[in-house]
Amino acid sequence: MLALQKIRAEIGVALAQASDPGAPAPHELLIKVAAAGICGTDLHLDHWAEGFRFIAPLLPVTLGHEFTGEVIAIGAEVSGFALGDRVVVQPALSCGVCIYCAAGRHHDCLNRIGLGMQVSGGFASHVFAPAKHCLHVPPEIDAELGALIEPLTTSAHAVALGEIGPGARVVVFGPGPIGQGAAIFARRAGAAEVAVIGHGDTARFATLRRLGFDTLIDLAEPDGAARLTRLAGAGFDVALEASGAPPVINTGLSCLRPYGTFVLAGMPEREASLDVMLIVRGRHRMIGCSRAPDSAWRTVIDALVQDPAAFRPMITHRLPLAEAVAGFQLAHSREASKVLLFP
C-alpha cells in the first residue's frame, strides 16, 4: 500500500510502498483510514527538528496520527468493537504497566510510543492500533471532522489548563489549527473576549474570520505591537501560546494582567529565551500543555457532535494521499490551516 513515510534521518518525507497489512495482533484493530490531517509534529519530523531525532533508529516509519477510519478486522482478544465501527485513535500508545498507567493516567505514560512517529500511522490506506486507544466516533461527526479530533484535544486541554471561564479575556498566539481550536474552546467556555495574534498570517486570519473571530492582530504589521498593547489594556487573564515561535513568549507575558496564566502548547524548534522578570513581577503562572487526558477527548467529541459547523472552516485543503508531499508544502506555507489527506 502507498504510505507517506519518514525514510531517512535527514530533511524530507516521501511516498513509499509499505507492505499490505495482515491480520491484527490479539489486542489490535485494523482500521481503513478515511481521512488524515497533517500536524505541526509531522512538519517538525519533515524538517528533522532536533527534538524529534530520537526516532532515527526506528526509520522508516509511516507518519500520520490525526485520522479517523473504519474497523475492518478485530484482534482475537478485543471486545467492544464491531466491524464497520468508525473510530479515532489516541496516538500516544501507553505501556499499561508504569506508575502512571497503573494510576489510570495513560496519557502520562512513562514509556509512551507515538503512533505515526515511532510505529506506523495513518498516512496510508490501513493502520493497526491497540483497541484500548481507539474511541468510537458518533455518526454526527463525519470522516473529515473526525480527523480534527486529535489536534483539537490539545486546544481543549490548553483551555482547560488555563481555567478559562465566563467573562475571561483571552489572547491566543498562533493562528494555526491549534490556536483556532483554542479560540473556539475559549469561546465555548464563555470567554468575553478572544484575540488571536499572528505574524504574516493573512490566510489563517481569513479562516479565523470564517470561524467567527475578528479581533486579530498581525505582529508583522508596523503598528501590530502597539495595537496589541492597546488591546491588552489592563491585561489579559489568560494567554495561550500555540505558535511555537520563541519571541512570542515574552510578548505574551507582557500583555497579561497580574496573576495571569500563560499556557504553552506550541513547540519551538529552538531554545526560547525567557524574560523571567516578567513572570516574577507579574506573579504569573506558566503551564506546559501536551498529552491531553481522556477528559479533553470527551470535550472535543461532544463539541463536534453539538456544533460541527463551528469547526469545519478549519479544514482549508483536501488532497489525495498520492499528493501528500504537496500537502506538506501547503501545511508549511501559512496559506493553509488544516490540510487533510485522503487515502
Residues that bind Zn ion (CB under 5 A): 39, 41, 94-95, 98, 101, 109
- State in angstroms the smallest separation of the CB of 168 from Zn ion: 26
- State in angstroms the smallest separation of the CB of 219 from Zn ion: 25
Whichever of 256 and 265 has its CB closer to Zn ion, that residue is: 265
Whichever of 31 and 219 has its CB closer to Zn ion, that residue is: 31
**Can you spell out the DSSP letters for 13-73?**
-EEEEPPPP-PPPTTEEEEEEEEEE--HHHHHHHHT-GGGGGGGGG-SEE---EEEEEEEE
- State in angstroms the smallest separation of the CB of 39 from Zn ion: 3
Catalytic residue, candidates 27, 44, 47, 317: 44
Here the cell at position 181 is 481550536
Strands (DSSP E) found in 94-223: 113-114, 126-130, 134-136, 169-173, 193-198, 216-218
| Interatomic CA distance for residues 294 and 153, integer angstroms | 9
Catalytic residue, candidates 41, 68, 299, 316: 41
**Residue 316: active-site member:** no
Whichever of 29 and 101 has its CB closer to Zn ion, that residue is: 101
Q: Are 278 and 260 in contact (CB under 8 A)?
A: no
- State in angstroms the smallest separation of the CB of 66 from Zn ion: 5
Whichever of 228 and 265 has its CB closer to Zn ion, that residue is: 265
Helix, strand or coil for residue 305? Answer: helix
**Residue 44: active-site member:** yes
**Can you spell out the DSSP letters for 232-267?**
HTT-EEEEEE-S--TTHHHHHHHTEEEEEEEEE---
- Active site positions, annotated: 41, 44
